[in-house]
Structure 1
Amino acid sequence: MCLCGVEGEVRVSGHDLRTVDVAAATGYSVQQVRNLERLGVIPPAVRSANNYRHYGPVHVQALRAYRALALAAGPVAARRLLAAIRSGTLADAAAAIGEVHTGLAHERAEALRAREALRAIRAELTSYESTSYGTATSTTYETAESGDDERDSMTITELAGALRVRPSTLRFWEQEGLVRPERVTSLRARRYGLPAIRAARIVAALRGAGYGVPAVREVMDSLGRLEGPGSATYLLDRRLHDIAGRTVALLRAGADLAAVIEAR
């Protein structure tokens, strides 16, 4: 048996690895190796007469693949995928890996779509300020749009249709303080002016890109300050960078995943 190289690049030969050897080859602790075996991430170890665990190269490859998959898709999805690879057919294994690639591509497409929507909103604001003030003036997001009138407002049904969400979704965003409509008539019917409409567009873009309510709230709170939609664009740029890193991790897992599949 030989273990040589650095963490993540250790070459393993022989078929009689101890738990401590597998841990050294993968960067996990001895207890983590045992836990991941119990969770089905790696095949069960061979037990000797004295009940000691014995591992082979495939266990190291499975753990390396799991580390990269956990970064790419999350630990729960990584555990499920490795279990499916070991128990299913070759076609099932290929389909499971393809789904991770497809999921990352979808996340990237949604983030790009959201970023383009925010760029359009920023362009609208720039045009509005140029028309209203003649020269560039320091202003806030809300102040720049305070001149909207009834002709520019929308009902909740109209706005929901424009954003392709349910009216109940807009009500939820209101409850969370993300979008603030103006209420009119004795029936308290909601109407959304230009500031609320553009805020709703930003919320829809961020939610569509996968951001949770706390992150969206942080961005929306910034709209009343000087940075306006720029902070949302920065958030999406960070997400695109994260997706790129996860995609690279998935590619890095490729060789080890192939080895695990072939060893079944």
Structure 2
Amino acid sequence: MRPIDLAREHGLSAQAIRNYDDAGVFPPTQRSESGYRRYTPLHAQALRAFLALRGGHGHQRAIEIMRATNRGDTEAAYRLIDTAHVELLAERGTRTEVAAALGSLSTSAPAPVQGRPLTVGELAHRLGVHPATLRTWESEGILHPERDRATGYRHYGPDSVRDAEIARQLRRGGYRLRQVAQFLESLREAGGADALSAFLDSWQERLTLRSRNLLAGAAQLDAYLTLLQQT
């Protein structure tokens, strides 16, 4: 088969096939007397495996998996695949923790802060915690108070007070500082609780899609490994 023959199945260009060949996606390629590359069904399956792996692992890692496979280092290939599953499991756990934190928040919102920002002592009194607790939350990335340029004292505006209220509630629910910081970071990035809920749904869809892509990649790679064993 010519490069264009492999390319047609996937809507690729012949140049893309040559680029993948040079990158190590294929096993050794024979050339005709005139120097043209010649491919076999083994190369066609290698391309299917690479494209399927790319959906779950990304372009560069898919290349690394194919390179390891083609040089006979299946242990390295399996290690790369296992790493992706570990990463996905960790991300799935993060999403679960953020969703649980959102669900544990009280439906009654705290009264908004009126007037000037609060000091450390005033916010601690409002929450019923020690001022040192607020400083710990700041060091853990939970709170981001502003500083008075003249005195260096911390000032807590409405956003910081809201974050502190949420942190207190989550801490009472048994959440660790790392989890609280993680939740608040997601909340800020999403733009609020309603937006975060939609974000979590989209996140779950992405996780599900990647899981399916990893399965599809594994199936095509297994088919390629079977052909390799037969050659």
| Range into which the TM-score falls when normalised by the shorter chain | 0.7 to 0.9
Q: Take 2:79 and 2:73, find their aligned partners in 1: how far apart are those partners?
A: 10
Shift of 1:55: 0.9
Query: CA offsets per residue over residues 77-114 of structure 1, 9 Å max, x none?
Result: 21122212222533333222222222212211111112
Q: Take 1:185 and 1:62, find their aligned partners in 2: how far apart are those partners?
A: 62
Q: Take 1:198 and 1:44, find their aligned partners in 2: how far apart are those partners?
A: 62
Shift of 1:67: 1.9
Compare the two structures and name the one with the higher helix fraction. 2
How many residues end up aligned between the 2 structures? 203
Per the alignment, residue 205 of structure 2 pairs with 241
Matched, 1:57 2:44: no
Q: Take 1:51 and 1:206, find their aligned partners in 2: how far apart are those partners?
A: 60
Is the CA contact (8 Å cut-off) linking 2:56 and 2:210 kept in structure 1?
yes
For residues 34 and 128 of structure 1, do their structure 2 counterparts lie closer, same or farther at Cα, with a shift above 3 Å needed?
Answer: same
Is the CA contact (8 Å cut-off) linking 1:118 and 1:229 kept in structure 2?
yes
For residues 63 and 203 of structure 1, do their structure 2 counterparts lie closer, same or farther at Cα, with a shift above 3 Å needed?
Answer: farther
Per the alignment, residue 252 of structure 1 pairs with 216
- Aligned match of 1:197 in 160, 164, 167? 164
Matched, 1:127 2:108: yes
Per the alignment, residue 181 of structure 1 pairs with 145
| Sequence identity percentage | 29
Q: What amino acid is aligned across from residue 43 of structure 1 in structure 2?
A: P
Is the CA contact (8 Å cut-off) linking 1:86 and 1:261 kept in structure 2?
no
Aligned runs of 1:70-149 on 2, under 5 Å?
70-120=54-104, 123-124=105-106, 126-128=107-109, 144-146=111-113, 149=122
CA RMSD of aligned residues (A): 3.2
Local SS of the residue matching 1:254:
helix
Q: Take 2:41 and 2:194, find their aligned partners in 1: how far apart are those partners?
A: 49
Local SS of the residue matching 2:24:
coil
The structure, 1 or 2, with the larger RCO (C-alpha pairs under 8 Å, 6+ apart) is 2
Is the CA contact (8 Å cut-off) linking 1:19 and 1:55 kept in structure 2?
yes
Matched, 1:157 2:135: yes
For residues 199 and 19 of structure 1, do their structure 2 counterparts lie closer, same or farther at Cα, with a shift above 3 Å needed?
Answer: farther
Local SS of the residue matching 2:108:
helix
Aligned runs of 1:10-21 on 2, under 5 Å?
17-21=1-5
- Structure 1: 5+ residue stretches without partners: 1-16, 130-143, 171-178, 210-215, 223-227
Is the CA contact (8 Å cut-off) linking 2:68 and 2:76 kept in structure 1?
yes
- Aligned match of 1:40 in 24, 30, 34? 24
Q: What amino acid is aligned across from residue 52 of structure 1 in structure 2?
A: Y
Q: Take 1:254 and 1:206, find their aligned partners in 2: how far apart are those partners?
A: 36
Q: Take 1:190 and 1:234, find their aligned partners in 2: how far apart are those partners?
A: 33
